[in-house]
Chain A
Amino acid sequence: MAAGATGTSPSIGRVSVAVFSVLTTLALVVCAAVALLASALHREGKLLADGTEGVTRATEARFALSLVALAHSDDVRREAERHLRVVLQEAQLVVDTPEEAALLERARDAAAAFVSRTERGEATRADLDDARGVLNEFVQLNAGQAREAQASAARWTLAGTVLSVLVGGAIVVAVLVLLLWLRREVVDPIRRLAEAIDRFPARGGRAPHVPETGALELRGLAAHLNRTAQALAEAHRARLAFIAAVAHDLRNPLTAIEMSVGAARPDAPLPSERRLRAAFAVIERQVERLARMAGDFLDATRIEEGVLELRRRRVDLGELASEVAKRFEDVLPPHEIRLTSADEELEVDADPVRVEQILSNLISNIMKFSPPGSEVEVTTFRRDDAVGVSVGNRLFGIRRDELEQLWEPFRRSGSSADTIPGVGLGLSLVRRLAEAHGGRLEVDSTPERGARFTLLLPLAPTLPYAVRPELGAEGGRHHGAQHP
């Protein structure tokens, strides 16, 4: 199988139309040829029959003439004369050409002249020969006509045979070409597609690649399969990376607990009470951290599946930001958190728990990449119809590769901020949360100017003062059922 023109093979649809057109044309040609052949053979058959009949009648007429000449009695002669007339009249029925008609006329005249002369007793041998000569000419003419019709019928038969052989051959060749094309451009590619699908899911994270060959439709199908396989392999890799990241993040708390438990080994004397208390404090913190990770893990799964339920409520974004910032005051290593609030109320219809998770994640990420003691800025503001919180530092940008890690959930955090919920979600899920609120997340990091994350949420619609309850009209509608 040469792979010569596989890349430009036409579509199955186009080939089907072409094959159908060719077959239809051939069928029409065959039908027309059969009709033409039938009518020609019919015509030649009639000519052949007429010729034969003409010869017979002329021969009979000749015989009747001889009988008229040789008859001994009047009865016999009259019977012979009557037979002669009948035969000549019958001969009139098989006349096909004017030449034949003229000849028959002449024969009739000659025969009539001979009969009348015989009746009068004046007939001579020459009169008889004259009439027989004309009849002989008529026989010759009809015999020639019959031979010609036979030859013509033979020619038509030959033409029909040649045509059938040609059409039959063309059909056989067309079917062979079609079968070969189908095998090379349809069956083989389908088999390769099936094999590729069988090889799925790929081992070692490598997606199977189907060569994009064959008919147009199959090339499209192969390309589609390749894209799907690639996407699935990537999703598979991402899932494995997610699990690896979770496993990795479990190791630090487990190490801290292991070290702390080591303080009270059964085979060693107990350390001082201060040391024991410190160890237990670490164990408590790390258990809290594991519990928080379990919560974040569940949240991450829900956000990923898109089944996270938002319990929206009208809240002030500035207040939320200041609460979250306060939580980071005791976090180690220490940073100076500078909160700058907008002068106005920044009301949003949002799920406060989720917004707190977003802000915790942003603050902890910025803290992670700012040296201890440096300043972390938390600024709330209003921009047109949106309100926002930006979290950033002024000097310490996050490198591109580090930033990429931040998008994945459960990439290492490693500070005591780990005990604050939402920290492990990863920027991609944080962005998903922001988008679920109708907002968005902006990330800006340059090595010289520092790093900055900005959460933007739509400003809650202003309601007339009199009907402005604790819950906003929009948020309250969904909210009533969820918060009894």
Chain B
Amino acid sequence: MSEAPSRAPCLLLAEDDADVAEQLSIVLEDAGYAVKVARNGVEALAHMRIGPLPDLVLTDIEMPLLTGTELATRMLVEDCGREHIPIVVLSGVADLEAVVRRIGTPYFLAKPFRADAACALVARALLERTPPSPQFGAPAAEHPAGP
């Protein structure tokens, strides 16, 4: 897991908004990453099942068919090495911090965000590689006590 990849780091972006997905993947590609785009959680899972595992998953929360939260849970439940992939949450949901706490990932960015902020967060996540550690049984709609 910790071997240094000689190739460009591979990112999987799950985002249902076509324009956001397109522009963000261009930004990330410019920053030197290889980006694969999935339009919802189901597509993202399919990518991970058939292709090589990505180094990092970036996901929106509200997507049709399978949401970002469900995607994170499925990655954990299916337990094929996918559970060790760090997850970056990019979303505009109002209770983002509560959602992120449930997924258990330290990496998240509220929409709208700047391109360089996204690149910096991706770089940090790839450096630390902290996998999600979900808090099971965490209250569903709890408001965070602080930032």
Which interface residue of A244, A255, A416 has the most chain B CB atoms within 10 A? Answer: A255
Query: Chain B interface: which size bin?
Result: 20 to 34
A275 partner, pick from B19, B26, B113, beta carbons under 8 A: B26
A286 at the interface (CB under 8 A from B): yes
**Cβ of A415: which chain B residues have Cβ within 8 Å of it?**
16-18
Query: Chain A interface: which size bin?
Result: 20 to 34
A371 partner, pick from B65, B110, B116, beta carbons under 8 A: B65
A247 partner, pick from B19, B22, B24, B94, beta carbons under 8 A: B94
In order of increasing CB-CB distance, the 6 nearest A-B pairs are A251-B92, A259-B23, A262-B115, A254-B112, A256-B19, A414-B16
**Cβ of B32: which chain A residues have Cβ within 8 Å of it?**
none
- Give the residues from 6 to 29 in chain B that come closer than 8 angstroms, CB to CB, to chain A: 16-20, 22-24, 26-27
Q: State whether A256 and B114 are in contact (beta carbons under 8 Å apart), knowing that A279-B23, A371-B42, A372-B39 are contacts in the complex.
A: no
Binding site of A, secondary structure by majority: helix, strand, loop or mixed?
Answer: helix
Pairwise interchain contact A252-B23, C-beta atoms closer than 8 A: no
Pairwise interchain contact A368-B39, C-beta atoms closer than 8 A: no
Q: State whether A412 and B62 are in contact (beta carbons under 8 Å apart), knowing that A252-B92, A285-B19 are contacts in the complex.
A: yes
Pairwise interchain contact B20-A259, C-beta atoms closer than 8 A: yes
- How close is A256's CB to chain B, nearest CB, in angstroms? 4
**Cβ of A412: which chain B residues have Cβ within 8 Å of it?**
16, 62
Pairwise interchain contact B64-A248, C-beta atoms closer than 8 A: no
A260 partner, pick from B17, B23, B64, beta carbons under 8 A: B23
A332 at the interface (CB under 8 A from B): yes
B93 at the interface (CB under 8 A from A): yes
A258 at the interface (CB under 8 A from B): yes
Which interface residue of A258, A275, A372 has the most chain B CB atoms within 10 A? Answer: A258
**Cβ of B65: which chain A residues have Cβ within 8 Å of it?**
369, 371
B49 at the interface (CB under 8 A from A): no
B→A interface (CB under 8 Å): 16-20, 22-24, 26-27, 30, 39, 42, 62-65, 90, 92-94, 110-116
Pairwise interchain contact B64-A252, C-beta atoms closer than 8 A: no
Residue of B nearest to A411 (CB): B62
**Cβ of A251: which chain B residues have Cβ within 8 Å of it?**
92, 110-112
Pairwise interchain contact B116-A333, C-beta atoms closer than 8 A: no
A282 at the interface (CB under 8 A from B): yes
**Cβ of B62: which chain A residues have Cβ within 8 Å of it?**
248, 412, 414
A382 to B104, CA, bound (A): 53
**Cβ of B42: which chain A residues have Cβ within 8 Å of it?**
371
Pairwise interchain contact A282-B114, C-beta atoms closer than 8 A: no
A279 to B17, CA, bound (A): 15
- How close is B72's CB to chain A, nearest CB, in angstroms? 17
A410 to B114, CA, bound (A): 24
A402 at the interface (CB under 8 A from B): yes
Which interface residue of B22, B42, B93, B110 has the most chain A CB atoms within 10 A? Answer: B22
Pairwise interchain contact A402-B112, C-beta atoms closer than 8 A: no
Pairwise interchain contact B39-A333, C-beta atoms closer than 8 A: yes
A412 to B17, CA, bound (A): 10
**Cβ of A253: which chain B residues have Cβ within 8 Å of it?**
19
Residue of A nearest to B92 (CB): A251
- How close is B20's CB to chain A, nearest CB, in angstroms? 5
A259 to B94, CA, bound (A): 21
Q: State whether A256 and B27 are in contact (beta carbons under 8 Å apart), knowing that A248-B93, A372-B39 are contacts in the complex.
A: no
A416 partner, pick from B18, B23, B116, beta carbons under 8 A: B18
Pairwise interchain contact B111-A368, C-beta atoms closer than 8 A: no
Pairwise interchain contact A252-B26, C-beta atoms closer than 8 A: no
Pairwise interchain contact A282-B111, C-beta atoms closer than 8 A: no
Pairwise interchain contact A258-B94, C-beta atoms closer than 8 A: no
Pairwise interchain contact A258-B93, C-beta atoms closer than 8 A: no
B17 partner, pick from A256, A258, A262, A372, beta carbons under 8 A: A256
B112 partner, pick from A258, A263, A278, beta carbons under 8 A: A258
A251 to B96, CA, bound (A): 13
Pairwise interchain contact B17-A414, C-beta atoms closer than 8 A: yes
- How close is B39's CB to chain A, nearest CB, in angstroms? 6
A248 to B110, CA, bound (A): 10
**Cβ of B24: which chain A residues have Cβ within 8 Å of it?**
255, 259
Pairwise interchain contact B111-A332, C-beta atoms closer than 8 A: no
Q: State whether A252 and B114 are in contact (beta carbons under 8 Å apart), knowing that A247-B94, A260-B23 are contacts in the complex.
A: no
